[in-house]
Amino acid sequence: MDLDLKGRVALVTGAASGIGRATAEVLAGMGARLVVSDFAEDAGAIDTPMMDETFARFPGFREALIGFVPTGRMGTAAEVANAIAWLLSDAASFVTGEALTVEGGLLSR
C-alpha cells in the first residue's frame, strides 16, 4: 500500500508489540505523525471507575497509593486526555518516539 500520510496524525493503540507495533511502523513509513498508546504496568494513579472496584476490595489502598504520589492526589481521565490532545496537536509536531507517562511524579520516587 502506497499512501502519502504526511500532515496526518494517526492514533495507534496496543503499539508496544505485535500488530499494533507493526501498524505504527507502517503508518510512520507513510509519513504520518503517530500517537501510540499501550497499557503500562508502571502507569500513574488515575482515578477511574475501574480503580473504584480495586479500592472497594482493598480498604485503605486509595489512601496508601495517594501517599506515594508527590502531587498528593490521583490523576483524572481528563488529564490523560489532555496529554493525548497535546500529542495530537501541532504544538507537539516535533515530538516522536517518546513515552509520555501521566503519573503525577509517582515514578520519580
Asked whether 78 and 41 are in contact (CB, 8 A), the reply is no
With respect to residue 3, please indicate whether it lies within any of the assigned structural domains.
Answer: yes
- Three cell numbers written together for 59: 480498604
Q: What is the pLDDT of residues 26-64, one digit of tens each?
A: 998 998 888 877 766 556 788 989 889 999 999 999 999
With respect to residue 104, please indicate whether it lies within any of the assigned structural domains.
Answer: no
Same domain, 52 and 29: no
* Cα 8 to Cα 92: distance, rounded to the nearest angstrom: 13
Q: So what's the pLDDT on residue 84?
A: 84
With respect to residue 12, please indicate whether it lies within any of the assigned structural domains.
Answer: yes
* Cα 104 to Cα 106: distance, rounded to the nearest angstrom: 6
Q: So what's the pLDDT on residue 40?
A: 62
The candidate with the shortest Cα–Cα distance to 21, out of 29, 12, 11, 30, is 12
Q: So what's the pLDDT on residue 80?
A: 86
**What secondary structure letter does DSSP report for 44?**
-
Q: What domain range includes position 80?
A: 42-94
Q: What is the pLDDT of residues 2-30, one digit of tens each?
A: 788 888 888 888 877 788 889 888 998 99
